[in-house]
Amino acid sequence: MPYKLEFEGRGFCVRHTGHVTFDEIAEANDIILDHDAWDTHDYQIWSYLEASALDGEKREARVISSVDEMSSKRHRVKPIKVAFVSTNAKTNELIEGYIDTVDDNLFPSRIFRTEDEARAWVGA
């Protein structure tokens, strides 16, 4: 499992390392969706700074955005800020598949070059 997922009180931080697959992203996302704090958390930070590669296609990112939206519409009242941290052009292209698909009113999402920038944006 090349990621570490932490609940930080008001949000989640997922840090990927090594070779990342969409199955691993979906696994981490499922853990968050099943967490007791799903209904109340404010943000998610997904860092790919230590990832050597992210395998997948934009359609897989779109599937994850659809799952998030369906879960949010049933249980959430307020939006969840989703900050992605990456400096890799190919990784950013795949992340944009999520950002372009997800409802910005439910999951305002942005890509940042550093975790500090991401944390400032989500208010962590």
The pLDDT value recorded for residue 104 is 80
In this predicted structure, the answer to whether residue 71 has a pLDDT above a threshold of 80 is: no
- C-beta separation of 122 from 42 below 8 A: yes
Enter the pTM of the model. Answer: 0.88
Domain with 112 in it: 3-122
H or E segment to which residue 82 belongs: strand 81-85
Q: What total of structural domains would you count in the chain? A: 1
What CATH number is associated with residue 88? Answer: 3.30.750.24
Stretch among 2-6, 10-14, 50-54, 87-91 having the lowest mean pLDDT: 50-54
Task: Give the tens place of pLDDT for each residue, 103-120.
Answer: 888 889 999 999 999 999
- C-beta separation of 48 from 88 below 8 A: yes
